[in-house]
């Protein structure tokens, strides 16, 4: 009997020990939910080793224990040997955004492959027409006198080279003419005299002639004076060039002093365009480049010129640098003071990897591209950009040739402030995780539709997530395809997000099968919110 009693005692002791162990294990598991979760998960995964929990938004943040991010989304468990979604991202992100096929179609998501191409571009700048400073002439007599008669008496008058401008009387000029005439007569009279006397007279005549030439007396007038030997009371000043009288100070009968400008004449057969190029583009602009110039007055004409000079200073107020373009001006079509639109082609540096400009979301601190990794799956990549053209931008790093990038319907995440909310609204949240308030829903009746502006006026019921009462207000639509589900008087359920402060955008529409229309907002003090 002893052996039987011993066996029974041992069995009872083993049962009690197992029961105590089960109770102790359950007690510890209740105090450590992470252990329970890790254990159950490990069993479900075939006893894989749990490494850490990663941020669901792909941020470089991990945790050894379960936790939630600021949006209330659970961190995702990562196990040993697990190939996490998006691990191929060059930016180090381990997150993919999952969107249903239906939602992709509603949002109007479009993709395009990153390609190698030659990235030609244009530098555009605003400019103004100015006279060529080298073709502007001042008429300023070098002696004292009086204006006896005006031949050109209006500013803006078109004149030709050699055309008379005005006649002057100057006692000093008359005196020099008489000296020259007397000296010439003395030279003739002393032909038979000694050489010293002849030389003296020649020097006197040459001195008088030099004074006349230094006073800008024309060659024709000097020849006439030499031939006749007669002193003229007045002399005529003529235009040295063809052009426009841009300044006229001469008045008939006025007295003028040496060096006083009486006329200014500008030759407009060639003009300058002074264009203001933005600071970030000035490194691309080189002297000698060809420029295309358009003038509002002649929309059907394009003028071609050459960039001849880049000014060495920057205007601090506008952050621009002035450049000079020379243009021929046949027929004087281009008038000083006109505004001009300048295009400067910039040579490409070769074949580079590019994506459309719309694919890049620039937050100010980083640039993001959404890469399609599968049907309804998108991966945010941080990229480094280079040169830009009108339609494409160079990708230095972050995206590979041939990868599909989102080029439309990514405007909801066009700023860093909206990035998390947009990703939270578009990502299929883990079970038990909250949406974080990024996407709101309301039942509404369509009051009015403005297809051109892409807006609808909705009479919607209360919105619990925003603590809104029933009201009537205007919404924008994410894309025009949504308007077909929003005809006037229709009763719908809409998903919407706040793209910017006070700007509400509809991202999804579901017609209501039946039921009453949304409560009217006529008596609501918040109507028109």
Dump pLDDT digits (tens) for 131-176. 999 999 999 998 899 999 999 999 999 999 989 999 999 888 888 8
8 A C-beta contact, residue 121 and residue 389: yes
Class of domain 270-346: mainly beta
Q: Compute the distance between CA of residue 298 and CA of residue 129 in angstroms, rounded to an integer.
A: 14
What sign has the CA pseudo-torsion 79, 85, 87, 88? positive
Tens digits of per-residue pLDDT, 236-272? 888 988 999 999 999 999 999 999 999 999 999 999 9
What sign has the CA pseudo-torsion 104, 107, 110, 114? negative
Q: Compute the distance between CA of residue 348 and CA of residue 306 in angstroms, rounded to an integer.
A: 19
Tens digits of per-residue pLDDT, 381-433? 888 888 777 788 888 888 988 888 888 765 543 333 344 444 444 443 333 33
Tens digits of per-residue pLDDT, 432-454? 333 333 688 999 999 999 988 88
Q: pTM to 2 decimals?
A: 0.49
Neighbouring C-alpha atoms within 13 Å toward the C-beta of 63: 15
Q: Nearest CA to 526 among 472, 476, 475, 474?
A: 472
Tens digits of per-residue pLDDT, 178-210? 887 777 777 777 776 667 777 777 787 788 788
pLDDT in the model for residue 314 = 93
Q: Which CATH number fits domain 440-511: 3.40.50.720, 2.30.40.10, 3.30.70.1290, 2.40.50.320?
A: 2.40.50.320
- H-type helices in 108-194, by residue range? 171-189
pLDDT in the model for residue 96 = 62
Structural domain boundaries of the chain?
Answer: 1-25, 141-260, 270-346, 440-511
pLDDT confidence tier of residue 497, bands split at 50, 70 and 90: confident
pLDDT confidence tier of residue 103, bands split at 50, 70 and 90: low
- Cα dist from 519 to 441, 444, 469, 472, whole Å: 15, 8, 10, 10
Between 482 and 58, where is the model more confident? 482
Pair type for strands 503-511 and 471-477? parallel
pLDDT in the model for residue 501 = 67
Residue 85 in this model has a pLDDT that exceeds 50: no
pLDDT in the model for residue 130 = 94
**Sheet bearing 76-79, strands edge to edge:** 62-63, 50-54, 76-79
- Cα dist from 27 to 17, 19, 23, 36, whole Å: 15, 12, 6, 11
CB atoms within 10 A of CB 76: 16
- Can you list the positions of beta strands (E) in 392-483? 392-397, 404-408, 440-450, 455-460, 471-477
Phi, psi of 32 (to 5 degrees): -130, 85
Cβ density class 350-373: b for 16+ within 10 Å, e for less: eebbbbbebbbbeeeeebbbbbbb
8 A C-beta contact, residue 394 and residue 386: yes
pLDDT confidence tier of residue 75, bands split at 50, 70 and 90: confident
């Amino acid at each position: 009997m002893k052996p039987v009693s011993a066996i029974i005692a041992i069995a009872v002791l083993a049962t009690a020990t197992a029961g105590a162990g089960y109770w102790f294990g359950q007690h510890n598991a209740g105090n450590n939910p992470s252990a329970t979760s890790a254990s159950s998960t490990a069993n479900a995964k075939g006893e894989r080793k749990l490494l850490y929990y990663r941020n669901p938004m792909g941020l470089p943040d991990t945790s050894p224990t379960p936790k939630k991010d600021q949006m209330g989304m659970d961190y995702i468990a990562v196990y040993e040997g697990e190939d996490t979604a998006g691990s191929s991202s060059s930016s180090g992100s381990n997150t993919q955004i999952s969107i249903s096929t239906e939602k992709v179609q509603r949002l109007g998501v479009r993709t395009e492959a990153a390609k190698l191409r030659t990235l030609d571009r244009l530098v555009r700048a605003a400019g103004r027409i100015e006279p060529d400073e080298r073709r502007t002439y001042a008429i300023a007599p070098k002696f004292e006198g009086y204006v006896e008669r005006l031949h050109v008496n209006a500013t803006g008058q078109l004149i030709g080279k050699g055309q008379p401008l005005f006649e002057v009387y100057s006692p000093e000029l008359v005196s020099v003419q008489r000296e020259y005439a007397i000296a010439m007569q003395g030279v003739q009279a002393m032909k038979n005299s000694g050489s010293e006397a002849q030389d003296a007279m020649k020097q006197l005549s040459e001195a008088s002639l030099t004074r006349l030439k230094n006073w800008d007396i024309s060659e024709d007038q000097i020849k006439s004076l030499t031939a006749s030997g007669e002193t003229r009371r007045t002399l005529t000043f003529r235009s040295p060039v063809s052009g426009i009288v841009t300044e006229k100070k001469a008045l008939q009968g006025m007295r003028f002093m040496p060096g006083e400008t009486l006329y200014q004449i500008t030759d407009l057969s060639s003009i300058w365009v002074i264009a203001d190029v933005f600071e970030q583009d000035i490194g691309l602009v080189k002297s000698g480049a060809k420029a295309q110039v358009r003038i509002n007055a002649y929309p059907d004409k394009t003028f071609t010129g050459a960039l001849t000079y880049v000014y060495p200073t920057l205007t601090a107020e506008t952050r621009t640098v002035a450049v000079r373009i020379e243009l021929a001006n046949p027929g004087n079509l281009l008038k000083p003071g006109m505004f001009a639109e300048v295009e400067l082609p910039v040579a490409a540096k070769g074949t580079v990897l590019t994506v459309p400009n719309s694919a890049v979301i620039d937050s100010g601190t980083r640039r993001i591209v959404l890469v399609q990794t599968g049907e309804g799956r998108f991966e945010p990549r941080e990229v480094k950009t280079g040169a830009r053209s009108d339609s494409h931008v160079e990708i230095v790093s972050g995206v590979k040739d041939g990868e599909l990038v989102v080029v439309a319907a990514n405007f909801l995440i066009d700023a860093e402030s909206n990035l998390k909310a947009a990703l939270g609204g578009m990502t299929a949240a883990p079970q038990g995780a909250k949406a974080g308030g990024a996407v709101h829903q309301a039942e509404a009746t369509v009051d009015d539709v403005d297809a051109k502006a892409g807006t609808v006026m909705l009479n919607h019921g209360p919105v619990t997530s925003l603590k809104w009462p029933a009201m009537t207000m205007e919404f924008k639509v994410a894309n025009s395809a949504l308007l077909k589900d929003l005809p006037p008087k229709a009763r719908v359920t809409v998903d919407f997000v706040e793209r910017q402060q006070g700007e509400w955008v509809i991202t999804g529409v579901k017609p209501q099968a039946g039921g009453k229309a949304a409560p009217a907002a006529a008596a609501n003090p918040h109507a028109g919110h």
